[in-house]
Structure 1
Amino acid sequence: VKKVIYVDADQVVRADLKELWDLDLQGHAYAYTPFCTSREETLGFQFWQQGYWKDHLRGRPYHISALYVVDLQRFRRNAVGDSLRAIYDQLSRDPNSLANLDQDLPNYAQHQVPIFSLPQEWLWCESWCSDDSKSTAKTIDLCNNPLHKEPKLDMARRVVSGELFNQSWVQLDDEIRTTLLAQG
């Protein structure tokens, strides 16, 4: 296996993931999409734009871990796993660090293991991205909204909507419900 593409289960993919598979990561071991910063209502919740993360990143973007690509050959050749383990070992001594391990670790490690930033269109999240950018989204992530809590299926119905919602969620939900009922 040369590459791995990870996609969170609460995402709707609206493009061919082969585009990501074929994407040149320009020498990087992995690629993530930076968090959007275009939704005005949530600017105050953008933790990566203030305090510790702003100081640590020094102008680099903070990336979301809901979708990423790993070039396994480069990852192994550059011993990225060893670097991440060493950084994790150092950080894990502080119980306040790595609150969101899956994305905090690669973001913290950017100075040693640079991240290739995927184009913003690869991950649209209503919490952080403007409504205007949704039409070009290749994936829609049903990420948690800091302003209000909402069940995922309700959010999917509202955010995704239309035939894409029916194909992505309703049919799958019905299949699962039928299977569970059959199992008794």
Structure 2
Amino acid sequence: MIPSDPSFPTFSVQTDRGGFMDMAKRSVVTCTFPGGKVREMQGEIDWKGKRIIVGNVNKSLSEAKRKVGGTLSLDTEWTWPSGRYTITHKSRMWTVKRGSQELVVYTSLKVNAFSKNELATLRFLVNRPYEEQIFLVLALMFHDLQMPPVAEPKTFKQAAGEAGVNVAATVATNVATNAIASCCVVQ
């Protein structure tokens, strides 16, 4: 665990899950203010109700965000009382801008097969009000939870080992032989 700097706020995330396939129902972000203050501020994404709530602002996800860019683009524009934000995606990195100013950079978790995973990182480049920070964390969480973690590419042999390759080859040979034998005469 990385020790926290007492001059920065602490963000904690709790996601309630359940039902079919253990789907996320609600994710809550809590911001505890620095300086030993007990005060907290919360925001949430209601996955089932498709809403985002921070403080006194409650919007549907379709009202808060819209897709920008081409068909394959993951970029979106989010509208909140504090302004319009553009979230762009490149490789594992999500960048939040307001106008031309970069506010936040988020790098997704990278799962490595044979070494330690690279943890996700979140950096606020500009000091913003806590309510706005919670909103931005939720918007980035929305994007990150829509995508599987980035995994290091590996061959089937690396993933399954030698035995997996032998079993797969045997099954493929048997299936191919049976398919040929049942559809035509082999001479």
TM category, shorter: under 0.3
TM-score (norm 2): 0.26
Structure that is richer in strand per residue: 2
- Which TM-score applies when normalising by structure 1? 0.26
Task: Return the structure number with greater helix share.
Answer: 1
